Structure 1
Amino acid sequence: GIPKTITISSKEVQEAMKEPVELILQTIKQVLEETPPELSADIVDRGIVLSGGGALLRNLDKLIFKEMGLEVKVAENPLFCVVLGAGKALDEIEIFKDVMVEI
């Protein structure tokens, strides 16, 4: 069909993102539950850093803080962090294989 412009409200965007945001929260919780106690203590002390496209979702950091009680920082250049980190993890896959999770 012919392209057209539509206007959607922030409420509609929020509703559309509800399920993916819930999945993000569930995944954070799962990873924290499976994290060894010595690393969990560091996470509680230092917080977590959001990277990737999800880090750009408005107020996601505040929601994670509210739901998990963890300090949250958004990485500088969050989109590039994922690519660079994945490359480093693949270079050192033997070191990281025990902490990788499949979602």
Structure 2
Amino acid sequence: LTICGNNLVEEGEQCDCGNSESCLQDPCCSSDCVLKPGAQCAFGLCCKNCQFLKTGTVCREEKNECDLPEWCNGTSAECPGDVYKADGIPCSGEGYCYKMECHQRDEQC
């Protein structure tokens, strides 16, 4: 069951700004849960001022040296899933990436 106006984007909705008062103030989403004219998006890490951020805009910084940053693709409001360097990639001198973290040999004994 889809309910427009509950602040949850559900199947068939492009956005959901909540109650009618909130929707009056929302620059991107209308009270019938569709994007306002000219709006590409209403929310998301790759959405700003109702427009998709440019291709190559960083939406998630790397957390550590075994993590990789993620970038907006210019056609979606969503940031791509978090990705990491492959296990076995060298890091911090004599360490190796394993399960998203840099581990030193002496830590493994």
- Bin of the TM-score, shorter chain as denominator length: under 0.3
Considering Cα pairs closer than 8 Å and 6+ residues apart, tell me whether 1 or 2 has the greater RCO: 1
TM-score (norm 2): 0.23
Of structures 1 and 2, the larger Rg is shown by 2
Higher normalized strand content (fraction of residues): 2
Identify the structure with the greater helix proportion. 1
